[in-house]
């Protein structure tokens, strides 16, 4: 019986593999290159983690990937050994999952050797020994593993881009792994402890982003030093979340003049006050990362930005506020930047404050005014504006007062001009429950239908009014109809 089963297995294998044996090696190569497993689902792991997906070959499973192919026949073994690209998309098992201990390093070394100098998709603890091959690295690791990164110090000479995210937040301490990285151009930190010291070279740095709480005036001095020491820096982002900003008047920070910085995103007041940026084009006031929590900017954010623009004499083309209170400084600020193309407001309060409401109404009124210039006309405020965004979230049973006929009238003046530049994009997003938007129920000539009619004049209108109360009403209506049908 056993002999019969073995013969059957042998016959099945021959029948299955015979067509493959007839294919030329170059055809097999193309098949292998274009038909790898793009997703491998791992289940029933020793630590009972939830299933997840990896891309490429798992080098620790010899029944998959290039190891499996190498066991088929001599032709395949030759291809696996000499076709570099088969060994390139390797993906070692997740660091949190126990991999088989026997021969683990040997398997990894052999896979890396086969891939030669081609980029490896993902790196973790075992790949630290091959850090000299790193060019672009993205690490999302547990704080427990952060100290191990010190092993790569002085061995990341090819590193150009680094994104290091600690989940959850890292512990205090020093991380000098990237202190010597002569080609580093892009650096992103996320989840680092406020007291963590993370030195890095700044000579070639062009992009810097960091998200961590403020640690007194030391934080301001540290980021000013980064900006001052990075002559090629063009983009700078710092998010302080909801941590307390130091306001001691006795602390003095020197003024930093930076000619090449084009993009700034922060709400750290003392940092803004210490910068002079003549070449600044894109400015965003926010204290959180886009995928983070809803943290508001300090109350005096608009005032600080106004003085930054006055000092810098810059010509902003894009200005965004995320969670900032608008005040009497908003209108004077906008008058300073006539070349502005994109203007965005975003709030996460239950509803913008009365002060913000008054400021926005005043801005809309001035944005409607025009003036004769030569043989034509142009708008007095923001004559080059192409994009306007108004986004309000978490509104519950309140009215967004400034979204009224005044807004529609302003849009009308910019969509049906005689000779002036037209508004190309208007985005209005209001999300919440039981809220009211005045222009929706306005029966005058400047209501919802009028706003929609501007699409016939080329306006791209993104109107998203997501009211959970309406959803509940619809669900109740459908439920009643279903019951009646029964």
Residue 262 has pLDDT above 70, yes or no: yes
The DSSP code for 214 is -
- How far apart CA 41 and CA 20 sit, in angstroms, is 27
Phi/psi of residue 211, nearest 5 degrees: -135, 105
What is the per-residue pLDDT for 482?
44
Which of the residue ranges 146-155, 161-170, 224-233, 406-415 has the most confident prediction, judged by mean pLDDT?
224-233
User: Percent of the chain, pLDDT > 90?
Assistant: 40
CB 420 within 8 A of CB 377: yes
Helix (H) or strand (E) holding 107: helix 104-115
Cα–Cα distances in Å, from 201 out to 262, 468, 484?
20, 50, 71
What is the per-residue pLDDT for 287?
85
Interval 100-138: pLDDT, tens:
555 666 666 666 666 555 544 444 555 677 788 888 888
* Contacts with 274 (C-beta within 8 Å, 6 or more apart), sequence order: 220, 224, 253, 254, 255, 256
What is the per-residue pLDDT for 442?
67
- How far apart CA 340 and CA 332 sit, in angstroms, is 14
What is the per-residue pLDDT for 22?
56
Interval 9-67: pLDDT, tens:
665 555 445 445 555 655 555 555 544 444 434 333 333 333 333 344 455 555 555 55
Whether the predicted model's global pTM rises above the 0.85 cut: no
């Amino acid at each position: 019986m056993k002999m019969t089963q073995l013969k059957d297995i042998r016959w099945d294998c021959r029948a299955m593999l015979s067509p493959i044996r007839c294919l030329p090696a170059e055809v097999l190569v193309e098949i292998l290159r274009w038909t790898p497993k793009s997703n491998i689902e791992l289940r029933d792991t020793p630590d009972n983690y939830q299933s997840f997906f990896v891309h490429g070959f798992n080098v620790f499973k010899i029944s998959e990937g290039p190891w499996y192919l190498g066991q088929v026949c001599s032709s395949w073994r030759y291809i696996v050994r000499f076709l570099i690209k088969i060994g390139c998309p390797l993906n070692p098992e997740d660091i949190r999952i126990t991999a088989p201990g026997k021969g683990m390093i040997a398997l990894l070394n052999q896979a890396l050797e086969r891939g030669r100098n081609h980029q490896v998709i993902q790196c973790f603890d075992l790949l630290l020994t091959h850090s000299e091959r790193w060019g672009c690295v993205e690490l999302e690791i547990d704080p427990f593993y952060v100290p191990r990164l010190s092993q790569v110090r002085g061995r990341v000479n090819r590193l150009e881009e680094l994104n290091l995210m600690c989940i959850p937040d890292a512990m205090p301490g020093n991380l000098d792994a990237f202190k010597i990285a002569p080609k580093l151009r892009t650096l992103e930190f996320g989840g680092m402890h406020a007291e963590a010291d993370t030195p890095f070279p700044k000579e070639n740095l062009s992009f810097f982003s960091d998200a961590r709480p403020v640690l007194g005036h030391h934080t301001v001095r540290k980021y000013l030093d980064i900006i001052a020491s990075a002559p090629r820096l063009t983009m700078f982002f710092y998010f302080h979340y909801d941590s307390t900003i130091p306001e001691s008047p006795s602390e003095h920070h020197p003024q930093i003049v930076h000619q090449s910085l084009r993009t700034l995103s922060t709400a750290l007041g003392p940092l803004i006050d210490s910068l002079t940026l003549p070449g600044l084009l894109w400015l965003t006031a926010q204290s959180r990362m886009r995928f983070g929590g809803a943290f508001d900017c300090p109350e005096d954010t608009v005032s600080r930005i106004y003085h930054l623009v006055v000092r810098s004499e810059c010509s902003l083309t894009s200005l965004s506020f995320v969670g900032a209170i608008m005040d009497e400084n908003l209108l004077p600020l906008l008058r300073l930047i006539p070349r502005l193309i994109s203007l965005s407001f975003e709030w996460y309060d239950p509803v913008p404050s009365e002060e913000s409401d008054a400021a926005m109404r005043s801005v809309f009124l001035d944005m409607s005014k025009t003036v004769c210039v030569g043989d034509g006309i142009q708008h007095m405020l923001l004559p080059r504006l192409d994009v306007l965004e108004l986004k309000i979230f978490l509104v519950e049973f309140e009215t967004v007062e400034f979204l009224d006929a005044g807004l529609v009238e302003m849009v009308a003046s910019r969509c049906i001009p005689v000779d002036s530049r037209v508004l190309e994009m208007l985005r209005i997003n209001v999300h919440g429950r039981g809220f009211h938007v005045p222009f929706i129920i306005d029966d005058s000539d400047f209501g919802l239908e009028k706003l929609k009619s501007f699409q016939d004049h080329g306006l791209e209108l993104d109107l998203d009014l997501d009211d959970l109360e309406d959803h509940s009403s619809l669900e109740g209506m459908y439920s009643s109809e279903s019951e009646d049908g029964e």
